[in-house]
Amino acid sequence: ESSSESRRSHLYQGPRISGSRERKAASTLGLIIGAFVICWLPFFVKEVIVNTCSSCSTSMEMADFLTWLGYLNSLINPLIYTIFNEDFKKAFRRLVRCSHYL
């Protein structure tokens, strides 16, 4: 391997690391968006149908279930960040340890 090839290969290591971080951030963001869509889309589809169709209705139980499914998104987001982000995971562990002594 020539010295110029060695320098080029060394120069490309920085962007490769950055690209890896960007891919990981993009996949985490994709999971966050996917969770949001899965949790809230049924609620909003129901709302559109019920409010545009005069003969359509849903039971109170179904309405409550779809609302709570949307609320579930607020629980899922921290879990996704904790699982996929090492810095968030460390901060979460420190927070749990500190609250243990309160």
pTM of the model: 0.67
Whether 63 and 46 have beta carbons less than 8 Å apart is answered as yes
Q: In sequence order, what DSSP letters do the residues of 34-55 get, joined into one string?
A: HHHHHHHHHHHHHHHHHHH-TT
Residues in the chain: 102
| Tens-digit pLDDT profile for residues 41-63 | 999 999 999 999 999 999 999 99
| Tens-digit pLDDT profile for residues 61-72 | 999 999 999 999
For the chain, domains (ranges, CATH) are 3-100 (1.20.1070.10)
